[in-house]
Amino acid sequence: MIKYNYTILCPIKLILEDEKMLVNYRKLWVILAEREISKVKFRADVGISAVTLTKLNKNELVALSVLVRICHVLKCDIGDIMEVVPEE
């Protein structure tokens, strides 16, 4: 049986057995641009704070509940708004 050791090193880095992973919300910004939704309207519709929006802009980790609310408002799946990628 494989055991995984998950450790948060800093707000944007997740270690999974010595492999650094980063989150990227580029897909979210593409969706907003395609739908012509401003970040101000997006923030109000989802009900997130300015701090959370800043974290999304900086590709930092945010709460799963925030990601679920975003998916609900945009009527999409979590994979449509973000991805987890290995650090280069």
The domain limits of the chain are 24-86
What does the pLDDT read at residue 15?
Answer: 53
pLDDT digits (tens, 9 = 90+) for 9-33: 344 455 555 556 799 999 999 999 9
Predicted pLDDT of residue 62: 95
CA–CA separation, 81 vs 24, rounded Å?
9
**Angle at CA 4, nearest 5°, toward 14 and 13?**
5
Q: Which superfamily is assigned to 24-86 in CATH? A: lambda repressor-like DNA-binding domains (1.10.260.40)
